[in-house]
Chains A and B, each alone.
Chain A
Amino acid sequence: MTTTSQDQERTKQHGQVSQARLLGLVNRVRELGLLIVLLLIILIVGIQAPRFLSIDNFEQILLSVAILAIAAVGETLVVLTRNVDLSVGSMVGVTAFVTAYFFKQLPGSNLLLGILLGCALGLVLGMVNGLIVSFGRVPAIVATLGTLYVYRGLIFIFSSNTTSQVNASDVPISYLALATTQIFGIPALILIAAVIAIIVGYFLHASQSGRQLYAVGSNPDAANMIGIPRDWLVFGAFAASGLLCGLAGVLWGARFATVDATAATGLELQVIAAVVVGGVNIFGGSGTILGVMLGAIVLGTLQNALNILNISQFWLLALYGAAIIGAVVLDAFITRWVQRTILSRRKKA
């Protein structure tokens, strides 16, 4: 008797382990799939336009993706908790404009001070989002659709009282150098994005709060019940999204040099596309930073390919939309397949 019940216990445990393995496998397959898609794009475009395959061009792609990637890391944290942040484009716009204006007014000031100012401003904007969602109990979609326009309106008020546009000639070269400096031959912009991805990726993978974020996204009420500070984690995710958008805004100002009140308008769609294409589940609770980085690179490569193949840039927005819908539909099919496999295995056991 005891042996059979032990056997049963063992097969049950075995079943659970293989389920976890299956889910882990899905994540790996998802990332591998993205890699294959990326290679296919590179192959197809490369055959038609060999200059696409140069190292220079790949550097260009990574450069164009870096700022988007930083904002996408923040969005990932929010989407993991089963929320969404639509205000990222406006937060990047606000911080880009304010930071550029700061350097225009005080060209002699410390570079670090300006960077900190931009990051702090982003953090405050993100915290406002977090407060409204976590403690005001307003759904994220309503709160951030509202702040998308509120923050953008603030830039217009600010710029109408100061200057309509900050030009490259207005700001110190040390600020612009942020985007052009190279460290060991690699552009600083790419390094900054990579470092942030690694830090946040490690935090999500290994820290207690990181794991709790996944738990909140999987089942917010259950997470709250077992003592995970759900509201604070959601608040933290929005605040982090703001902070990273602040940094992205600082870099935006440095990279594009000319900043007006419409800077980074519509960036939220690209950011959400990168996150969803990167395999973060829109129902929360699953997804990796590695996947999101791959998602951002795939989108950046597509944009670059359009350029090289001389296809009108007007296709870009439609492409982002199709990418969002396509990725969500693909995930739905994968989820169904996983559920069916688990069910049939249980029946066999």
Chain B
Amino acid sequence: MKRLTSFLTSWEALLVALLLIGVMIGSVLSPYFLSAFNFNALTSNIMEIAIMALPMTLIIIAGEIDLSVASVLGLSSVVLGLLWERGNPMWLAIGVALLVGLVAGCLNGLLITKLALPSLVITIGSLALYRGLAYVVLGDQAVSNFPTAFTNLGFGSIPGTEIPWSGLIFAILAVIFGVVLHFSWAGRQLYAMGNNKEAARFSGINVGRVKLVLFMLSGVIAALAGVIFTARFSSARPDNAVGFELTVVTVVLLGGVNIFGGRGSLLGVVLAIFIVGVLQNVLGLLNISGDIQSLVIGLLLIFSVLGPNLARRIQVVFTRRRLAVGSSKQV
């Protein structure tokens, strides 16, 4: 019973309610909203963001941030496209694309850990650098003649279901990340680092190495998202997924992860992913353009931090008032 009430007042319960409201609004607005086809479209549309949100959750819980994910996605996408166009086999192109992501993340991680620089500024720099390199690699061209077996990874679904392949990849990764974050010593280390880096270091956590691993992970996962994105649109362009970092950070913070680190759960982030997925889908059904959808996501990002802050302030004011009333009664 106690657990039930504590769940009902938790952030996750609020997210479940938001998700249900979103689904209700969607089904009222369009008879097609609850169709299997739309579920497929909704899911595959958000999966690159969903996959990148997993390492981002760990990074923000550890008290850091990675703003370069969308640029790593773009860079790995054009590398994949270029290698395929030059006649290399697909497995090699994918392998090199993932390797590029790993190296990109490693460079971020090394600069942040070895020189003790803030991840915020370094990854703003590499946001520009990696996107710029993507333009250098492919210019204003695009590669689009990918084999069907590859594009199926983006278009197709698991036979007999409406679950896209990218959804399966996300589900497997989400389980792994969830277990690591919530049921392993490595996960506890992340929370410790996010709460107090100095204390974490003195209690024997190799903060530098953990951070380096996190950023390498973020890089390789962003590259994986790049492979999926390329397959889904059957197109490798240097401007692929520009601005996706906004949505990735938004789902993580909306999921209840504390921007200063140390608090948050993967369950919340998964719920937030589907809330944003439903929101984008509903806005799409309403024929609202992508740029105005970004406005809504931007508002959501600000309010997912501002909302709880304001709620806490109001609570403080009320408690003070109640205490004041109580003390005046005593007199």
Q: Which residues of B contact A273 (CB under 8 A)?
A: 128
Residues in B whose Cβ lies below 8 Å from that of A333: 115
- CB of A23, distance to nearest CB on chain B (Å): 19
Q: Is the CB of B129 within 8 A of A332?
A: no
**When chains A and B are docked, how far (Å) is the Cα of A142 from the Cα of B213?**
24
**A interface footprint on B274-310 (CB within 8 Å = 1, 0 otherwise):** 0000000000000001011011111101100110011
Contact B302 A143, beta carbon cutoff 8 Å:
yes
- In the complex the two chains form, is B295's CB within 8 Å of A139's CB? no
Q: How far is the CA of A345 from the CA of B129 in the complex (A)?
A: 39
| Interface membership of chain A positions 127-164, coded 1 if the CB is closer than 8 angstroms to chain B and 0 otherwise | 00000100011110111011111101110110010000
Tell me whether A321 and B128 are in contact (CB under 8 A): yes
Q: Which of A84, A86, A142, A315 sits near B132, CB closer than 8 Å? A: A315
The answer to whether B187 has its CB under 8 Å from any CB of chain A is: no
Is B302 a contact partner of A325 (Cβ separation < 8 A)?
Answer: no
A320 at interface by CB-CB < 8 Å: yes
> Which residue of chain B has its CB nearest to the CB of A312?
B139
Q: Which residues in A have their C-beta under 8 angstroms from that of B310?
A: 136
Interface residues on B, range: 35 or more
A329 contacts the other chain (Cβ, under 8 Å)?
yes
Assembled-state Cα–Cα distance A116/B64 (Å):
40
Distance to closest chain A CB from B129 (angstroms):
3
Instruction: Return chain A residues, CB-CB under 8 Å to B128.
Output: 269, 273, 317-318, 320-321, 324
Is A84 a contact of B298 with CB atoms below 8 Å?
no
Query: How would you classify the secondary structure of chain A's contact residues: helix, strand, loop or mixed?
Result: helix
Q: Which residues of B contact A321 (CB under 8 A)?
A: 125-132
B127, B136, B309: the one contacting A138 at CB < 8 Å is: B309
Q: Which residues of A contact B53 (CB under 8 A)?
A: none
Contact with A along B104-128 (1 / 0, CB 8 A): 0000000100011110111011111
**Beyond A145-B246, A147-B302, is A152–B132 a contact (Cβ under 8 Å)?**
no
In the bound complex, do residue A156 and residue B292 qualify as a contact, i.e. CB atoms below 8 Å apart?
yes
With both chains docked as a complex, state the minimum distance between the C-beta of A333 and any C-beta of chain B, in angstroms. Answer: 8
Bound complex: CA A312 to CA B137 (Å): 11
Chain B residues closer than 8 Å to A316, beta-carbon distance: 132
Q: In the complex, what distance in Å separates the CA atom of A149 from the CA atom of B298?
A: 6
Residues of chain A with a CB closer than 8 A to B295's CB: 149-150, 152-154, 156-157
**Chain A positions 319-345 with a Cβ under 8 Å from a chain B Cβ:** 319-322, 324-325, 328-329, 332-333
**Chain B CB within 8 A of A233 CB:** no
A283 contacts partner chain B, Cβ-Cβ < 8 Å: yes
Decide if A282 is an interface residue (CB 8 Å cutoff): yes
CA A273 – CA B128 in complex, angstroms?
Answer: 10
- Out of A149, A282, A318, which one reaches B121, CB within 8 Å? A282
- With an 8 Å Cβ cutoff, the count of chain A residues facing the other chain is 45
B118 — which chain A residues lie within 8 A by C-beta?
282-283
Partner of A149, one of B127, B133, B294, B305: B294
| Shortest distance between the CB of A242 and any CB in chain B (Å) | 16
Taken together as a complex, chains A and B put the C-alpha atoms of A149 and B253 apart, in Å, by 16
Query: B124 touching A149 by the CB < 8 A rule?
Result: no
Residues of B within 8 A of A328 (CB): 117, 121-122, 125
A314 at the A/B interface (Cβ < 8 Å)? yes
Which residues on the A side are within 8 Å of B111 (C-beta)? 325, 329
Is A190 in the interface zone, CB < 8 Å from B?
no
Q: Would you give the shortest CB distance from A132 to chain B, in whole angstroms? A: 6
Tell me whether B65 is interfacial, beta carbon within 8 Å. yes
**Is A318's CB under 8 angstroms from B132's CB?**
yes
Bound form: Cα–Cα A291–B291 in Å: 36
* A141 touching B299, Cβ below 8 Å: no
Q: Which residue, B128, B132, B253, B294, has most C-beta atoms of chain A within 10 A?
A: B128
Q: Which 9 A-B pairs have the closest CB atoms?
A: A153-B295, A318-B132, A321-B129, A321-B128, A317-B132, A324-B125, A149-B298, A146-B302, A325-B125
Known pairs A269-B128, A325-B126, A325-B129. 4 more at Cβ < 8 A?
A138-B305, A315-B132, A318-B132, A328-B117
Can you list 10 contacts pairing A with B, beta carbon distance less than 8 Å? A136-B305, A148-B246, A148-B298, A160-B289, A314-B136, A315-B135, A318-B136, A325-B125, A328-B121, A332-B115
